[in-house]
Copies of this chain bind each other. A is one copy, B any other.
Amino acid sequence: MQLNDIYRLIGEDLARVESQIKSVTEVDSPALAELLEHSLREGGKRLRPVLTLLSAKFHHYDLDLLLPMATSVELMHTSTLVHDDAIDDSAVRRGRPTVNSLWGEDRAVLLGDYLFAKAGEFAALTGNLRVIRLFAQTLQIISSGELGQTFDAFELEQSRDRYFKRIASKTASLFSLATESGAVLSQAPEELVKVLREYGYNLGIAFQIVDDTLDFVGTEKEMGKPVGSDLAQGTLTLPAMLSLERYPDDNPVIELFRNRDMAEGDKKKKIKEAIEMVAEPSIIKQCYEVASDYCAKACRHLGRLPDNPSRQVLKDIAALVLSRKS
């Protein structure tokens, strides 16, 4: 099963989400339109709206109210990426220059604000107050998590617990918004809303662990962004934590975090060394094991959902999260 097969299953719905996303770019101001087109162009995986659409398939939903929510989660995702890239001064995302690199950080901040607002408007179109409240709370969790990350930056002494809290805020929260909102909008019974929320949450944790691992073993071409970017930002992720546990004394990660004012050339060299050190097969294997545990946890209670093709697809997505290369 490939992501494309999944997309075939819900292709028609997803095409409508895509056209709602496209409608966002149709604004009077040519300057704003250009920024919106750049940031919303197809090419992302659209994984979050897929999760919203699939999560609704177990009960009764009104497609006209479900679609705006699927659009909303993708817009919220995009807005957080635009702000993240601005904050991290990232130059490349999905193989293309970032908004901040093309139009400056200030415009990236304002574009992100606009996208948040647009996401909120789509969430409001569901007419469902519970979902709207979830939307607003998720954005709080994400932004406070990212804020926490800025305080944790370049900190070598971090518990694993802090890492998991951080990725829960910045990634799992949006995944669980995606699945929970689909469930709520399909009038699923509370018990099954919980099953789908937890599926999304644990899948999100697994997704982020894989992301953090690919930052050490992926290629720039596959990832669409430079490898080692977490280390460069001073963000300590699971692979680097495991490496520090094994080699607490002579580890290039330590030098990298302690000497933040290193010359650019030295820094690049040190990041390369650190990547080599961290990316040893047994550490990478361990990271994938942790991610795999979260995928298993995600799927544990899916059996309680009505048996239909979407249920199998949710399991397939969990497997895909582990095997993805980008």
A248 within 8 A of B: no
User: CA A86 – CA B116 in complex, angstroms?
Assistant: 18
Interface residues of A in 115-168 (CB under 8 A from B): 116-118, 120-121, 123-125, 127, 129, 132-133, 135-140, 142-144, 146-148, 150-151
Given A83-B110, A87-B106, A109-B109, also A117-B132 (CB < 8 A): no
Interface pick from A26-34, A49-57, A304-312:
A26-34
Q: Is A111 an interface residue (CB 8 A)?
A: yes
Counting CB contacts under 8 A, is A230 at the interface? Answer: no
Is the CB–CB distance between A143 and B117 below 8 Å? yes
Given A110-B150, A151-B31, check contact A129 B136 (CB 8 Å). Answer: no
Bound CA–CA A140/B111 (angstroms): 9
CB distance B136 to A120 under 8 Å? yes
- Judged by a CB distance under 8 angstroms, whether A114 is at the interface is yes
Contact A135 B120 (CB under 8 A): yes
* Contact B148–A31 (Cβ < 8 Å): yes
For residue A13, which residues in chain B have a CB less than 8 angstroms away from its CB?
none
Report if A316 contacts B (CB, 8 A): no
Contact status of A117 and B146, CB under 8 A, knowing A83-B109, A87-B106: no
B110 touching A147 by the CB < 8 A rule? yes
Whether A110 contacts B87 by the Cβ 8 Å rule is yes
List of B residues within 8 angstroms of A104 by Cβ? 150
Contact of A144 among B114, B121, B148 (CB under 8 A): B114
A93 within 8 Å of B (CB atoms):
no
Residues of chain B lying within 8 A (CB to CB) of residue A144: 27, 29, 32, 110, 114
Residue of B with least CB distance to A83: B109
Complex contacts, A110 vs chain B, CB 8 Å:
83, 87, 143-144, 146-147, 150
Are B147 and A107 touching (Cβ within 8 A)? yes
Q: Does A220 contact B (CB under 8 A)?
A: no
Closest to A146 in B: B110
* A57-107 interface with B by 8 A CB criterion: 83, 86-87, 104-107
Knowing A87-B106, A124-B136, the reply to whether A29 touches B116 (Cβ < 8 A) is no
Neighbouring B residues of A114 by C-beta, 8 Å? 139-140, 143-144, 147
| 21 pairs, A vs B, C-beta closer than 8 Å | A32-B147, A105-B105, A106-B150, A110-B143, A110-B144, A110-B150, A113-B113, A113-B116, A113-B139, A113-B143, A114-B144, A118-B140, A120-B120, A120-B132, A120-B136, A121-B136, A123-B136, A124-B129, A124-B132, A127-B129, A132-B132
Given contacts A29-B144, A31-B147, A83-B113, 11 further A-B contacts (CB under 8 A): A29-B148, A31-B148, A86-B109, A87-B109, A110-B150, A111-B147, A113-B113, A113-B139, A113-B146, A117-B143, A132-B132
Spell out A's residues near B (CB within 8 Å).
Answer: 27, 29, 31-32, 35, 83, 86-87, 104-107, 109-114, 116-118, 120-121, 123-125, 127, 129, 132-133, 135-140, 142-144, 146-148, 150-151
8 nearest A-B residue pairs (beta carbon) = A117-B139, A120-B136, A113-B143, A121-B136, A114-B143, A117-B140, A87-B106, A110-B147
